Structure 1
Amino acid sequence: MKIKSIILLGVLLLSGAVYVSAGTDNVAEEVAWVVGDQPIWKSEIEEAYQNMLYERVPIAGDPYCVIPEQLAIEKLYLHQADMDTVEIPDAMVFSQVEATLNNYILNLGSKEKVEQYFNKSLPAMRESLREMVRNRARVQEVQRNLTKNIKSTPADVRRFFEKIPTDSVPWVPLQVETQILTVAPAVPREAIEDVKARLRNFTEQVNKGESLFSTLAILYSEDPGSAQRGGELGFSGRGEFVPEFSAVAFNLNDPKKVSKIVETEYGFHIIQLIEKRGDRINVRHILLKPKVAEKDLTEAINRMDSLRHDISDGKFTFEEAVTFLSQDKNTRNNKGRMVNDNTGSTRFQMAELPQEVAKRVDGMEPGDISEPFIMTDPKTNHEVVAMVKLTERIPGHKANISDDFQLIKNMYESSRRQEILDTWLAKKIKDTYIRIEDGWRNCEFQNKGWIK
C-alpha cells in the first residue's frame, strides 16, 4: 500500500498538481516549476509575493514570472550549499527572525494585526521566516565563497573605468567632509531624582497590580521604538544590549517582578522579563530621560561661542579644541572628523548628515566654523550643543579616477562578482533538470536556458 502511495504521489507531481484531503474538501496545490528534484509550489510563489508587497520590494515585470525564477535560482544555490555543507548558526537565524517579527508588530500595531495581515499564526510565521532567513544566509555564503578570491589592482580599475561609455560614467552628488565638536551640559540632580521617583512609582503600581507594565510603557516610555509595543524589545542576545542593561536584564527570573532602576547612556530604565529561551531573552522596559535645563543649554551655547571666537583669533585650533573639550567619544580621537556609517569614509552626501548638521553646513565654505547650535545626538537621542567645521566641499561631478578611485574600484569588483555569479548560474541551469509547467512558461526570463 505504501509503494502504491509513493507511485501515486510521483504521478501527481509529474502532472503538476497534488490533491490533499482535508476532511470532506479536496484542496489543490499546484506545482509551477521543478528544479532538480525540488518542486516550486504555487503557494510558495503567493507567499513570496505577499512578503514582497509588504516590504515594498520593486518587482521588474510580471510577479508570476519574476518570483518563480528567483525561487529557482535560490534552489540552485541551496543545492550547492548542500554539496559544500554550508551551515548557518541557529543563534543568527533566531535573532533575525525575531527582529523581523518585532518589526512587523511595530509597523502593523499588534500581534493580532500581523496574523490577520499575513493570514497565518505567529508560530507558523516564525517557522516560515526561520527557513527563509536560513536559506537566504546559505545562498549569500555560497556567493561569498564563489567570489572571495577577487582582487583588484590600480591597473585593473583604470582599465575598467576606461571601458565605461562616457554617458554611463556615474554622477557623484555633492559631498562634504566635516568635523564636529560637541558638549553635553550636565543634567541637574533634581531632574535625575524626578525621573527615578517616577520609575519607582511605576514599579509600585505594577507590583500592587494597579497597572500593567506594558500600559505604562505605552503611555510614558521615551523609547519610541518599543513604547508602542508596550516596551517589548523582542528576543535578544546579551551582546545586543549595552552592558549595564544586559547585566540586569539577564539576571531577571520572575516575569512578575520589575528590575531595579538601571542607568545607561540612553537614560534610566526599569525592566520586566517576558520569557527566556536558552541564551536569549525577551523583556519589556520603560525608558525615561532626565532633561537638560534650558538655562544650561544657553550657558553651553555661550561658552561654545566664546570658544569659536578664540579659535578665530588663533589662540588654538579647532582640532585642539576637539581633543581637549569634545565629549563625542566617536569623533574626539579623530580630530572631530565625522565618519559615514554607510560607507566607512569621511565623505557625506548632504542627506546622510544629521539634519541639524546639514542645515549649518549647507551655506558654509571649506574652513568655516559654524555658530554653536543644539542638536540631538543620533546615538543616544540626548540634546547636546555642537559646532561644526566644513573641511571640504566636493561639488557634484562625473566620477573620475583621481577623485573617486574607491568608488570606481567598488564598481569594478562588483562587476567582477556579477560576472562570476552569472557564469556559475548559466552552467548550473544547463546541468540541472528543470521543468516549467504549462501556464508558467510564457515569460521573458532574466536568465536563458530554463525552458529545455
Structure 2
Amino acid sequence: MSKKITIIAFLLIAFSIKAQDSLSTKNERIKVDGVAVVIGKNIVLESDIDKFKKELQQRIEGKIDITDCEILEEIMTQKLIAHHAVVDSVVVTDAEVESEVERNIGYFVQQLGSMEKVLKMYGFNDEDDLREELGSIQKEQLLIKRERSGITEKIDVTPEEVRTYFKNLEKDNNLPEFSAEIELAQIVKYLKPTEAETNRVVAKLKELKKEIEDGYSFRLKAIINSDDPAVSGNGAGSGGKYTITRESGFIKEFKEVAFSLDEGEISEPFESGFGFHIIQVEKVKGQERDVRHILMQPKISQQELDASKAELEKIRNEIISGKISFEDAVVNYSEDVETKNNKGLILNPESNDTKFDLTLMGPELYAKVNNLKTGEITEPFYEEIRGGEKMHKIILLKSKNDTHKADFVKDYEKIQQLTLQKRQEEAIEKWVENKIGDTYIKIGNDYKKCEFKNNWKKD
C-alpha cells in the first residue's frame, strides 16, 4: 500500500465524523445529493468524497495530491468490508458501540476543552446529534475492524522480513519520517460536591417533581432549572425533550429509568455521570419513548476549587523537590482509575499505546505540554469533561522524541508494525479482488471513468 493510500485509510476512520451531514436525515441527503457508488446496501454520496477530500487536505496542509477516484476506491473498500461483515454475521453489541462512543466523546472533549467546542468543530447542533452520528460510525467501524481481523488474524512477520522491508525502503530512499511523539503522565484530583450540596439538588428535584405532578409545565420547569445546555435550543433536548430507543446513544442510567416508567409517570431523582435527573415519559411509541428530563449538577464552591488546586500545587512541589517520586505520588494521590495503576501514563485512545503525535494533539492540551522539557510538570490546571466531571490535574512530560527519519534500532517496533501492516494490506487486497465478483456494486456515471486498482467496474 502506498503512503498516499495509507493516509487515506487512516483518516477515513479518524475523521469520518467530519464527513457526515448532521443537519439532515439520510433520506433527505440522498434526495439532494448524488449517489457515487452503491456497495451491497451501503451508499457513498458525492458529498462524502468532497467533504473528506477537503478535510484530508486541511490535515496534511495540501502536501499530497489525492484524486477523487483514489479516495472513492478506499471508501469502496471499507464499505465492501462492512457489507461482508454483515453477510458473515459479525456481532457488534450495543454496549460495545456505546463504549466506543463514550471513549471518543471523552477524547474529543479532552483534546478540545469542552463539549461546546467539539460540537462547533464537527458541525453538530447538540450532543444528541453527535451521539447518534457517532453511534452509526462506530458500529460500522467495529464491523470493519472485526471482519479485517478475521482476514488477517493468522498473518505474522519474522525479524528477517522486518529487516528486508527496512532495507528496501532505505535502498529506495523512501524511509518514513516519524513525527515528534511524547508520553504524558498525570495526577488527577476530582472535585466532589459536599453532601449538603448533593442533598440540596435532590431535594430541589423532588420539589420540581411534585410541582409538575400538581399541574405545572415540565417544559417550563426544565427551561428554568435544567443544566442540560440543549434545553434552551431548538433541536433535540429543547425544553428537556428527547425521543429515545434502547439503541440510542444515551447513558445507561438514563435509558434504564426511561424504560422502567409508564406513560405520564415521573421518576424519582437519580444520578448519572452528568449529575442528577428526573424523567417523565410523555409518550410510548412502540420501541420509542418521548421523554422530558431535568438535569441538575451539584455546584462546587470557589473555596473547594481553591483547596483542590492548592493540594495539587503542594504535591507538585514535593515531586520537584525530590521528596516523592511522580510514580509514588500517582499511587498516593491520583484519583483517576484508568491511569492510577499505570504509573499515571495516559493511554492514547487512537493507537492504544502511550505515545501521542504532537501534530495530532488538540490545541488546548498541546498548549499545556508543548514547551515542557522531559521530566517537567505543568502547573495545576482545571478541567471539566463531558458529564460535568470536574477536576484539577498536573501533567508530567515523561518522554519526547523529535521528528526524525526511521532508525532500524530506535524505531524497530514501528518498522515491525509497518511491515505487518503491509502484509495485512496485501491480504486485504486479495480478499477484495475475490469479493468484488460476488457483491452488488453500482458505480455512478461520473465515476465510471475512474481507473481503479481493482476491477470495481467488473469489465
**Which residue identity lines up with residue 145 of structure 1 in the other structure?**
G
User: Paired residue for 1:152?
Assistant: 157
2:420 is equivalent to residue 413 of structure 1 = yes
CA contact (8 A) 1:86 1:141 kept: no
What is residue 107 of structure 1 aligned with on the other side?
Answer: 124
Letter in 1 for 2:156: K
Match for 1:266 among 271, 274, 292? Answer: 274
1:174 aligned partner:
180
- The equivalent residue for 1:49 is 46
SS of alignment partner, residue 166 of structure 2: helix
Describe the shift of the 1:346–1:250 C-alpha distance in structure 2 as closer, same or farther (beyond 3 A).
same
Query: What's the secondary structure of 2:294's corresponding residue?
Result: strand
Contact 1:339 1:347 in 2 (8 A): yes
CA deviations over 1:177-234 (Å, ceiling 9, x no partner): 1221122244234433443344334434543443244x65566544457885125373
In 2, distance between residues paired with 1:173 and 1:341?
18
Aligned counterpart for 2:370 among listed residues 362, 380, 389: 362
Assess if the C-alpha contact under 8 Å between 1:374 and 1:383 holds in 2: no
Q: Taking structure 1 as reference, are residues 159 and 194 closer, same or farther at Cα in structure 2, changes over 3 Å only?
A: same
Displacement, 1:61?
4.9
Amino acid paired to 1:396: T
Q: Distance in 2 between matches of 1:157 and 1:341?
A: 26
Cα contact 2:246–2:255 (8 A) shared by 1: no
CA distance in structure 2 between the partners assigned to 1:133 and 1:376 by the alignment: 26
Which position in structure 2 is the counterpart of 1:347? 355
Q: What residue number does 2:166 align with?
A: 161
Equivalent position of 1:234 in the other structure? 244
8 A contact 1:176–1:391 mirrored in 2: yes
Q: What's the CA shift for 1:394?
A: 1.5
The Cα shift of 1:363 comes to: 2.3
Could you tell me how far apart the structure 1 residues matched to 2:46 and 2:323 are?
Answer: 63
% identity of equivalent residues: 24
Q: How does 1:393-404 map to 2 (within 5 A)?
A: 393-404=400-411
Instruction: State how 1:214-363 maps to structure 2 within 5 Å.
Output: 217=222, 221-224=226-229, 228=233, 229-230=236-237, 231=240, 232=242, 234-236=244-246, 241-242=251-252, 245=254, 248-251=257-260, 253-273=261-281, 284-350=292-358, 357-363=365-371
What is the 5 A alignment of 1:29-108?
48-49=45-46, 61=67, 85-86=88-89, 88=91, 107=124
Would you say the 8 A contact 1:365–1:390 is kept in 2? yes
Answer whether contact 1:179 1:335 (CA < 8 A) is retained: yes
Q: 1:92 to 1:405 in 2, by over 3 A?
A: same
Q: Does 1:210 align with 2:216?
A: yes
Instruction: Show the 5 A alignment for 1:365-384.
Output: 365-371=373-379, 373-378=380-385, 380-384=387-391
| Number of equivalenced pairs | 388
Distance 1:240 1:108, change over 3 A: closer
SS at match of 1:330: helix
Q: For 1:290 and 1:223, how far apart are their aligned partners in 2?
A: 13
Q: Distance in 2 between matches of 1:196 and 1:366?
A: 46
String of CA shifts for 1:407-438, please: whole Å, max 9, x gaps. Answer: 33332232222212323333555799999898
- Counterpart residue type for residue 167 of structure 2: E
Q: Which amino acid aligns with 2:270?
A: V
Q: Rg bigger for which structure?
A: 1
1-structure distance, mates of 2:444, 2:387: 55
**Structure 1: unaligned runs, 5 residues or longer:** 1-30, 115-125
Cα separation, partners in 2 of 1:427 and 1:192, compared to 1, 3 Å: closer
Query: Residues 155, 227 of structure 1: CA spacing in aligned structure 2 closer, same or farther, 3 A cutoff?
Result: farther
- Secondary structure, aligned partner of 2:337: coil
How far apart in 1 are the matches of 2:308 and 2:138? 48
1: CA distance, partners of 2:355 / 2:313:
26
Shift of 1:261: 0.9
| CA distance in structure 1 between the partners assigned to 2:174 and 2:151 by the alignment | 28
Aligned to 2:198: 192
Which stretches in structure 2 are left out of the alignment for 5+ residues? 1-34, 57-65, 103-118
**In structure 2, how many angstroms separate the alpha carbons of the residues matched to 1:356 and 1:239?**
27
SS at structure 1 position matched to 2:392: strand
Shift of 1:320: 1.6
From the superposition, tell whether residues 145 and 391 of structure 1 become closer, same or farther in structure 2 (CA, over 3 Å).
Answer: closer
Is the contact between residue 267 and residue 278 of structure 2 (CA under 8 Å) also seen in structure 1?
A: yes
**Cα displacement (A) at 1:309:** 2.6
Bigger drift between 52-61 and 280-289 goes to 52-61
Counterparts of 1:76 and 1:389, CA distance in 2: 41
AA paired with 1:241? Answer: I
**Superposition TM-score, scaled by structure 1 size:** 0.65
Query: CA offset at residue 339 of structure 1?
Result: 1.4
* Larger RCO: 1 or 2 (CA < 8 Å, sep 6+): 2
Alignment check: 8 A CA contact 2:189 2:308 kept: yes
Relative to structure 1, the CA distance from residue 71 to residue 364 in structure 2 (aligned partners, 3 Å threshold; closer, same or farther) is closer
- 1:19 corresponds in structure 2 to none
C-alpha distance in 1 between matches for 2:366 and 2:77? 45
8 Å contact kept, 2:73–2:452: no
The reply on whether 1:386 has 2:393 as its aligned counterpart is: yes
SS at match of 2:314: helix
For 1:238 and 1:182, how far apart are their aligned partners in 2? Answer: 31
Q: Provide the secondary structure at the position in 2 that maps to 1:107.
A: coil
